[in-house]
C-alpha cells in the first residue's frame, strides 16, 4: 500500500492536489486519467485539467492518507509546488490519556 499526491496543473476551484492510497498505484492513476478514479479527478478530466503524479509515500496506508489530508497543507509536501523546500511528513505525537 502506498499513498500518493496528484498535482493539478491548473487549480480546480480551490483544489490544487488530490491525495489517494492504493496497493496498485499505476492502475489507480490510469483510472484517474480515464475519469474513473475519484470525483475530483473526473471533473479535471471533463474540464481538460491535466494532473501528474507528484509524490509517492511507499508503505503508507489509508491512516497516513487521512493524516496527510488533515494537515490542510498538502502543497507543503508536493515537490512540484515546493521544489527544494518540500517537507517530509512528521506526524504530531499522539496525545497521552
Give residue-wise pLDDT tens across range 4-46. Answer: 999 999 998 889 999 999 999 999 999 999 988 899 999 999 9
Does residue 94 form part of some domain?
no
- Asked if the model's pLDDT at residue 65 lies above 80, the reply is yes
Average predicted confidence (pLDDT) for the chain: 89
Our count of domains for the chain comes to 1
Does residue 91 form part of some domain?
no
- Asked if the model's pLDDT at residue 66 lies above 80, the reply is yes
Give residue 86's pLDDT: 81
Does residue 97 form part of some domain?
no
CA distance 67 to 79: 18
pTM of the model: 0.85
Amino acid at each position: 500500500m502506498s499513498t500518493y499526491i496528484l498535482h493539478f496543473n491548473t487549480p480546480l476551484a480551490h483544489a490544487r492536489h488530490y491525495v489517494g492510497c492504493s496497493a496498485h498505484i499505476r492502475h489507480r492513476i490510469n483510472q484517474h486519467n480515464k475519469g474513473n478514479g475519484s470525483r475530483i479527478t473526473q471533473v479535471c478530466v471533463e474540464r481538460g485539467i491535466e494532473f501528474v503524479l507528484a509524490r509517492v509515500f511507499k508503505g503508507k496506508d489509508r491512516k497516513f492518507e487521512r493524516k496527510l489530508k488533515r494537515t490542510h497543507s498538502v502543497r507543503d509536501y508536493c515537490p512540484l509546488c515546493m521544489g527544494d523546500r518540500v517537507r517530509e511528513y512528521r506526524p504530531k505525537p499522539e496525545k497521552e490519556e
